[in-house]
Each structure stands twice: as C-alpha cells, then as structure tokens.
Homo-oligomer: A and B are copies of this chain.
Amino acid sequence: MTFKERAKELVAKMTLQEKLSQMRYDAPAIPRLGIPGYNWWNECLHGVARSGSATVFPQAIAMAASFDSELMERIGDAVSTEGRAKFNEYRKFGDTGIYQGINFFAPNINIFRDPRWGRGHETYGEDPCLTGRMAAGFVRGLQGKGKYRKADATLKHFAVHSGPENLRHGFDVNPSERDLRETYLWAFRYCIKHCEPSCVMGAYNRVYGEPCCGSPFLLEKTLREEFGFDGYVVSDCGAVCDFNENHGVTANAAESAALAVNSGCDLNCGSAYQWLKTSVALGLLSEEKVTRAVERLFEARIRLGMFDSDCEYDSIPYDVIECPEHLALSRKAAADSVVLLKNDGILPLDPKCRIAVIGPNADDRSVLTANYAGTPSEYVTVLEGIREAAGRRVYSSKGCHSFLMPGQYDENITRDAIITAAGADVVVMVMGLNPSMEGEQGDARNSGLDGDRADIELPQSQKYLFEEIMKLGKPVVFVNISGSAVALGEQDKRCAAVVQCFYPGAQGGRALADVLFGKVSPSGRLPVTFYASSADLPPFEDYSMENRTYRYFTGTPVYPFGHGLTYSEIREEWLDAERVVLENVGKTDTAYSVLRFENRPERRLVGFRKVFLKAGEKLTVDVPDDTAE
C-alpha cells in the first residue's frame, strides 16, 4: 500500500470529531487507533530551533550569500539529522510537545523586496531564481531520499508576504499579474516542481482581497491546480483568526475555520480550528472536505515513518547534535557566505600587524544566531574568532551602543575606542545591525516599527563612532554585520576594505577570521541590492516591484546584487549561453560562484554554480537555465 492508501484507510476509521481534532497543530492522541499525539509546530530555519542545543548554521540570508545550492543540501541534511535525533529521543519519553516534531516550518522563501522588512533575513534574498534554487537544495537535504521522508519541509509564507510587520494581520496586497508570477510566486512554483516539499504555509496577509490561508485563488487554483502541489497546507500561526478579527472577511471564528478548510488549508497553527465542529454543525463545512485534509496530514505522518518500525532514521543518536562534522559545516557555510565588497589589498590581514577590533557588533553573541535559532553550546563572536586566529593580544573596544546615542549618565565609551584604534596598524570596525533592530513582529524592539526598520542607514551612534575613528587616518577594514542591506556609501569611499557578513551562525567569528586572515578566500555574493540611501526606495507598503531589486531598480546601488570579490582573480569566458570557461589567474585558491544573467527583458539571474579553483586552474562549467520549463 502507498502512504496515501494507508492514510485513507486509517482516516476512514475515525469519527468526525476525531478527524477535526487532528487538524489542530497540537493534535491529540487517538489511543483506540494507536495514534499518538503529535505537535506539528517545529522550526529549523537555519538549524533545529527552539528545542535546546543544536548546530546554529548561518541565518538564511547568509546561506543565500554562499550562492551554493549543494552546500544548502548538505546543511538541510545535517539539520534533519539533528531533528531526527531529537525526535527519536523525545519520543522515548512520550513527548509530543511544541518544537519536538519532525516536520518543520521552514524554509522562508518570500522575496526580500524591501530592505526595511524586519524578517528579510529569514529569506534567501531578493531574487526568485536564487531563492528557488537555494530553497530546493535545503528542502532536498531536509527531506532526504529514503524510503521514508527524513523530515517535512514547509515553504512559507504563501504568498507575497514581506511586511510591514505591524500591518501583517490585516494587510491586503494587489500585485500586478507579472509581479505575482515572476517575483512573488516564482520560487514556490520552482520548488514544487523540483523538490517535492511536503507542506506549504499560508501567509497572514490578503492577496486580491482574499486572506492567504482562506484563498481559493491561491490555495486551490494556483498552488494545487496550476503548480500541482500534492502536500498539505498549514496556516501561519493565528492567521485563520485574523479572517474575522483583522481582515473582516468573515463574521466569526467558525466561518473563518470553514473558509480555511474549504480553501484547502488542512492544518491550523493557532486556535481557530477548535471551532470546526461548529462550522460543520452550521453547514459551512462538509465532512468530505475534512476527510480530504486529514488524509493529507496522515499521509505525511505515515510517510515520516511514525507508524512503522523500519524507518531508516529511527536510530540516529542524540550525539549527532553539534557533532564536530556539523560544527565544521556551519563554519564552512559561514566563511563561504562572507561577501568581500571592497579590498584595496589590505585583506587578507598581515598576521604581524597590530589589530584593533572596534564596534558594537564585535563581541555581540546575538548577531551570530539571529532569530529562529537553537541554543548553541559554543558562541564564537567576531572578536573571539579574531583573537583565536591572531594568536596574540588583540586590542578591542565596543565604542558605542548599537543604536542609542549616550544619555547624560550612560557609559562613556567612545574615547576608549579612539585610543584603542590609535594604537593599531589596522582597525577592524565591526558595525551594522542586530536582531533587536530587525526582526519579526514582537521580536525586535526597534523604533515602534514592530521589527521593521525606518531606513537603511547605519544608526546615528555608529555613524558618530565611524567618523571619530576615521579621523585617525588608520586603514580601516569595515565589517558590516546585518541581515539586510545597509547604506555603505561612506564606507565604500573611505575604508580600505568593506566586508559584508550576514548573521553568520554560532561559529561565525571563527569563519570571519578564516576570511580576514586568508585561510579561506571569500566567495560570497550579495543576495540583495545594497542601495545608496533610503531615498532610493519606493514606499515600504507599495508591493509593486517597480524600482525594486536589481531587476527593476533604475538607480545606481553602492553594491549591486551578485557583487562579491575573492582574494584571487577569476576570468570568465562564455563559450555559449550555458557553458563558461573559468580561469583562476590570481595567486590564491578560491571558491567562485559563476552567475548566468539574461535579459527577459530586464537583466535577471537564470542560473548559477559554485566551483573551487586552485590558483592557475582552468575549468569548463555548465550553468543550466533554471527557468527552463
């Protein structure tokens, strides 16, 4: 019997009430049928999250900067290995709580259309092709290739979701047909075609007036009929209650729940589906639709091996969690995600030079893990990584608060930074944002915007410190740590080197030091455009792609999408549209992502591939068109 047939058979034994109970994320046990309880809410955006110890890989936006979909697959595999280890052991205790299951609400494949969006760092950036390819790699690794599914991945948030955070529960988006297809839905379609994601999560917002988790247009017509999605759909958490509470498209929770299930939202994260019995009683929902949903959910659970004793993942032991191999992979991923934006030759650093490490992000642990993360057993901050690599005394000073200008009685620490920098040969300034300045509604505490940013400038406190340090006339390596684009025009003009480090995971400091000291040649590329100023951006609430992202932006960015230097020099000689000869004509071995752009009619990425080239090495590489049907 197929998983689908087994599910049909099992669900057929359930009463209506039992079926309805299984559509909640915290599904209770049905002992008479041998069905244990199961909590569907679990997270693994960049490592198993919120469930204690786990390898914390670089944040999604950082992984995207690696432009390496094979690396993504390895990471996805490591993540589900740790997830399985936890699931196996938790089950022995009879645990069926939140963050203990083996399906995950990741990846987030929304398009990072505006740098001010607080959740943008959860995504793979602004480009649909990059997003689709990176997500597909992650999903493949996560879900495995076994008889059973290793873990379930969830594409989220379907669809068009990208801020503002403080309006998300009631916002309506009316994108043009072209923007919808070529930007907002592209990666969903790509993944469904290429990597069989188990699940899709509906978004909070409305599209064309329909709330995403209750949208026949999105869930039935587009996702299932057009894209051929065959899995289950889950609501974002609380999104169904939004129908009546914030969107005002239904009168009460029973209507909301019915609308969701009728539209094809099988599973409810939140509490609306406790009203499903009422929905059925009122004739708003048929048992047939209920059965369809529950069959999908049990197909998934059976496919995950939960009801069999021969699942190949049941013996994964707990000590794979944060094992040396996974930590090394996290470090490699972080190093491969570092984007060298500018280098006058100062990098890699001379190990004999006296280094001063300055800035509020230098020794901050929160910029390593970002959001949706587990608890690493070891944090290596940038300062710690540099100190470890330098093998000698490294001088450091925080210099300023991340965003607050000092009050009358607050600590007085700028001068210490200036003095510290003045004694060095090279100043490494580690500035940028942190997850308290950009995040999800309720997470970030930035300027009343509920996680979003008001602009893309460096905060005033950091600008002040930057100017004070620049007055010293020392060569400055500017490391910007952030999850989104920051206006780095001044840094580009005035610093000897500029390095973009997206939130790099728990091993991040070590990885950045690998790059700064030349153990690893940088090979990351920007997954987002680095604009010159907030004035370049359309209004944040405007979902038109006009003048947004490298594909439609008509201005001049400081650093374009795809920009990224290495410590070597790679020559590209394209033989035809698909084949390119790469030659490392520099003196340093390096990884290199070759990008294939085409004009359709705007210039857009249609393929990419990452390879490693020793100094002097020449390689012919195929770069297939990922947009080919």
User: A50 near B100 (CB under 8 angstroms)?
Assistant: no
Q: Within the complex, what minimum Cβ distance (angstroms) separates A82 from chain B?
A: 11
User: B423 near A50 (CB under 8 angstroms)?
Assistant: no
Which one of B41, B319, B365, B397 contacts A375 once the chains associate, using CB atoms below 8 Å?
B397
Q: Which residues of B contact A409 (CB under 8 A)?
A: 41, 98, 237
User: A411 near B319 (CB under 8 angstroms)?
Assistant: no
Which one of B90, B377, B412 contacts A50 once the chains associate, using CB atoms below 8 Å?
B412
Q: Within the complex, what minimum Cβ distance (angstroms) separates A570 from chain B?
A: 38
Q: From residue 280 to 337 of chain A, which have CB atoms closer than 8 A to chain B?
A: 318-319
A89-B419, A377-B383 known; A99+B51 contact, CB < 8 A: no
Within the assembled complex, what's the spacing in Å between the Cα atoms of A419 and B90?
9
Counting CB contacts under 8 A, is A420 at the interface?
A: yes
Which one of B51, B395, B420 contacts A413 once the chains associate, using CB atoms below 8 Å?
B51
Counting CB contacts under 8 A, is A150 at the interface?
A: no
| Main secondary structure on A side of the interface with B | loop
Within the assembled complex, what's the spacing in Å between the Cα atoms of A397 and B378?
11
User: B93 near A52 (CB under 8 angstroms)?
Assistant: no
Number of interface residues of A (CB under 8 A): 46
Which one of B95, B379, B383, B412 contacts A51 once the chains associate, using CB atoms below 8 Å?
B412
Q: Which residues of B contact A423 (CB under 8 A)?
A: 318-319
Which of A52, A237, A408, A415 has the most chain B CB atoms inside 10 A of its CB? A52
Within the assembled complex, what's the spacing in Å between the Cα atoms of A563 and B137?
60
Nearest-neighbor residue (CB-CB) of A362 within chain B: B377
Q: Which residues of B contact A41 (CB under 8 A)?
A: 409
User: A412 near B100 (CB under 8 angstroms)?
Assistant: yes
Within the assembled complex, what's the spacing in Å between the Cα atoms of A162 and B97?
45
Counting CB contacts under 8 A, is A53 at the interface?
A: yes
Within the assembled complex, what's the spacing in Å between the Cα atoms of A50 and B414?
11
Counting CB contacts under 8 A, is A86 at the interface?
A: yes
- B-facing mask of A381-406, CB < 8 A → 1, else 0? 00110010000001111110000000
Counting CB contacts under 8 A, is A457 at the interface?
A: no
Counting CB contacts under 8 A, is A417 at the interface?
A: yes
A319-B423, A423-B318, A423-B319 known; A411+B50 contact, CB < 8 A: yes
Counting CB contacts under 8 A, is A583 at the interface?
A: no
Within the assembled complex, what's the spacing in Å between the Cα atoms of A420 and B416?
42
Q: Within the complex, what minimum Cβ distance (angstroms) separates A440 from chain B?
A: 12
Within the assembled complex, what's the spacing in Å between the Cα atoms of A52 and B413?
5
Q: Which residues of B contact A396 (CB under 8 A)?
A: 53, 377
User: B97 near A412 (CB under 8 angstroms)?
Assistant: yes
Q: Which residues of B contact A398 (CB under 8 A)?
A: 52-53, 375
Q: Within the complex, what minimum Cβ distance (angstroms) separates A471 from chain B?
A: 11
Q: Within the complex, what minimum Cβ distance (angstroms) separates A461 from chain B?
A: 14
Nearest-neighbor residue (CB-CB) of A98 within chain B: B412
User: A99 near B318 (CB under 8 angstroms)?
Assistant: no
Within the assembled complex, what's the spacing in Å between the Cα atoms of A365 and B100?
28
Nearest-neighbor residue (CB-CB) of A383 within chain B: B377
User: A420 near B53 (CB under 8 angstroms)?
Assistant: yes
Q: Which residues of B contact A319 (CB under 8 A)?
A: 395, 423
- B-facing mask of A84-118, CB < 8 A → 1, else 0? 00100110010101111000000000000000000
Nearest-neighbor residue (CB-CB) of A413 within chain B: B52
Q: Within the complex, what minimum Cβ distance (angstroms) separates A125 from chain B?
A: 27
Q: Which residues of B contact A237 (CB under 8 A)?
A: 409
Q: Which residues of B contact A98 (CB under 8 A)?
A: 408-409, 412
- B-facing mask of A7-36, CB < 8 A → 1, else 0? 000000000000000000000000000000
Within the assembled complex, what's the spacing in Å between the Cα atoms of A378 and B390?
14
A53-B396, A53-B397, A397-B52 known; A415+B375 contact, CB < 8 A: no
Q: Which residues of B contact A420 (CB under 8 A)?
A: 52-53, 318
Q: Which residues of B contact A97 (CB under 8 A)?
A: 412, 415
Which one of B51, B394, B412 contacts A416 once the chains associate, using CB atoms below 8 Å?
B51
Nearest-neighbor residue (CB-CB) of A237 within chain B: B409
User: A412 near B99 (CB under 8 angstroms)?
Assistant: yes
Within the assembled complex, what's the spacing in Å between the Cα atoms of A53 and B363?
12
Q: Which residues of B contact A53 (CB under 8 A)?
A: 396-398, 416, 420
Q: Within the complex, what minimum Cβ distance (angstroms) separates A616 from chain B?
A: 40
- B-facing mask of A416-438, CB < 8 A → 1, else 0? 11111001000000000000000
Within the assembled complex, what's the spacing in Å between the Cα atoms of A97 and B415?
10
Q: Which residues of B contact A410 (CB under 8 A)?
A: 50
Nearest-neighbor residue (CB-CB) of A54 within chain B: B416
Within the assembled complex, what's the spacing in Å between the Cα atoms of A365 and B384?
14
A318-B423, A375-B398, A377-B383 known; A100+B52 contact, CB < 8 A: no
Q: Within the complex, what minimum Cβ distance (angstroms) separates A95 from chain B?
A: 6
Q: Which residues of B contact A395 (CB under 8 A)?
A: 319, 377
Q: Within the complex, what minimum Cβ distance (angstroms) separates A143 from chain B?
A: 23
Q: Within the complex, what minimum Cβ distance (angstroms) separates A236 from chain B?
A: 13
Within the assembled complex, what's the spacing in Å between the Cα atoms of A375 and B365?
14
A-B contact pairs, 18 of them (CB 8 A): A49-B411, A50-B410, A50-B411, A50-B412, A50-B413, A52-B397, A52-B399, A53-B396, A53-B416, A98-B408, A99-B412, A100-B412, A100-B415, A237-B409, A319-B423, A363-B377, A375-B397, A375-B413
In the complex, given contacts A89-B419, A99-B412, A377-B395, what are 10 additional A-B residue pairs having Cβ atoms less than 8 angstroms apart? A41-B409, A51-B411, A51-B413, A89-B415, A98-B408, A98-B412, A318-B420, A319-B423, A363-B379, A377-B397
